[in-house]
Amino acid sequence: MTILNEIRTVGVVGAGQMGNGIAHVCALAGYDVLLNDAAEGAIDQAIETIEHNMHRQVGRGFIKDDDMRAAMGRIKRAPSLKDFGACDMAIESAIENEDVKKKIFADLSPVLGANAILATNTSSISITRLAATTDRPDKFIGVHFMNPAPVMKLVELVRGLATSQDTYNTSLRFVESLGKTIANAEDFPAFIVNRVLVPMINEAVYTLYEGVGSVEAIDKAMRLGANHPMGPLELADFIGLDTCLAIMQVLNEGLADTKYRPCPLLVKYVEAGWLGRKSDRGFYDYRTDPPTPTR
Ligand code: NAD
């Protein structure tokens, strides 16, 4: 794989489960990476996670030890967005909250060079609307990675109304240089993958809420009955219940169809701070091995 000439340095804003995966993939492909997060200690924790995950890839023979060391050397901490001046592409991957994302773009735009591409990893929010709040709607695009980014092959590319052909072409070649395959999605709420996947997860939570099945029964039924590699509740914990809820809210508001009503039980889990794997508890409790269903 060869990196693009016009993109040498990639900035990643938000070093959570997706941001660290995106930084991982970009650094392994040969890009210099700047990693930012607003939370205390989050960048260091992300770098530890990336190193741990790359070690696993070395152990499985997917990459060489030298590749890992070179890639880790390309990742730099960027505690402030002011450090993003050298970025040719910035990928925003902070929490799924429109106001938070808009504030990041407002802070980032004046720092970036005039030709830099501004991308977002949003799972559901309108690319056109986010782009319109920036100084570069023509250089703004949705680059939606799947979780976990180092493993999953697909990236959805989503053009806003104003995204230029040049921005699309460069982003397409950039994503391909990461060894990923793209699917083009139009800019409608939750795009393709999450438009189909997250309502299915929400329905699984309704199935639990109405007592049709237990956590274990629902997951087992979908694994063995529909041949899904993971049950929907296990998958919801993996995605993050806050992210699942945010996507349902975007679908509900954006498409104004009651079939997208978020399940009250999903809301309750998020209100409890039981967000899934990332907070050690969701539909399963991950502090035990194997994880224990919480209902
Ligand atoms: P996460 O909760 O693991 O990480 C979010 C990170 O953003 C946290 O580390 C938080 O500290 C940081 N953050 C919050 N406000 C910030 C700010 N103002 N500046 C910088 N950092 C800030 O969430 P995640 O799962 O990594 O999701 C991130 C984005 O990726 C969301 O838009 C989500 O919809 C999208 N996404 C998620 C998945 C998934 O399966 N979880 C898949 C594809 C895309």
Q: Which atom of ligand 1 is nearest to the CA of 104?
A: 18
Q: How far is CA 60 from the centre of its chain?
A: 24
One domain for residues 154 and 278: no
* Domain total in the chain: 2
Instruction: Please provide the DSSP assignment of 90-101 as one string.
Output: EEE---S-HHHH
Residue tagged active-site, from 156, 171, 202, 234:
156
One domain for residues 125 and 232: no
One domain for residues 160 and 204: no
Active site (annotated) includes residue 144: yes
Last residue of a domain, one of 185, 211, 241: 185
Mutate to test the pocket of ligand 1, among 22, 81, 93, 146 (most ligand atoms within 8 A of CB): 93
Q: Which pLDDT tens digits describe the chain residue by residue (295 residues)?
A: 688 889 999 999 999 999 999 999 999 999 999 999 999 999 999 999 999 999 999 999 999 999 999 999 999 999 999 999 999 999 999 999 999 999 999 999 999 999 999 999 999 999 999 999 999 999 999 999 999 999 999 999 999 999 999 999 999 999 999 999 999 999 999 999 999 999 999 999 999 999 999 999 999 999 999 999 999 999 999 999 999 999 999 999 999 999 999 999 999 999 999 999 999 999 999 999 999 999 9
One domain for residues 162 and 206: no
Q: How far is CA 235 from the centre of its chain?
A: 14
In a domain, 4, yes or no: no
Beta carbons within 10 angstroms of residue 82's beta carbon? 12
Helical pair 241-255 and 264-271, crossing angle rounded to 10 deg: 130
The predicted pLDDT at position 91 comes to: 98
DSSP state of 231: -
Last residue of a domain, one of 157, 185, 213: 185
One domain for residues 181 and 206: no
One domain for residues 35 and 170: yes
Strand stretches in the chain, DSSP E: 9-13, 32-36, 75-77, 89-92, 117-120, 140-145, 154-159, 181-185, 284-285, 292-293
Ligand 1 centre to CA of 259 (Å) is: 26
The predicted pLDDT at position 5 comes to: 86
The predicted pLDDT at position 3 comes to: 86
In this prediction the pTM is 0.95
CATH of the domain at 55: 3.40.50.720
The predicted pLDDT at position 100 comes to: 98
Residue tagged active-site, from 24, 92, 144, 234:
144
The predicted pLDDT at position 125 comes to: 95
One domain for residues 175 and 275: no
Range of the domain at 179: 9-185
In a domain, 1, yes or no: no
One domain for residues 32 and 145: yes
Active site (annotated) includes residue 52: no
Last residue of a domain, one of 128, 157, 185: 185
One domain for residues 164 and 220: no
Residue tagged active-site, from 123, 126, 171, 202:
123
Residue nearest to atom 30 of ligand 1 (CA): 93
In a domain, 48, yes or no: yes
The predicted pLDDT at position 202 comes to: 98
CATH of the domain at 259: 1.10.1040.10
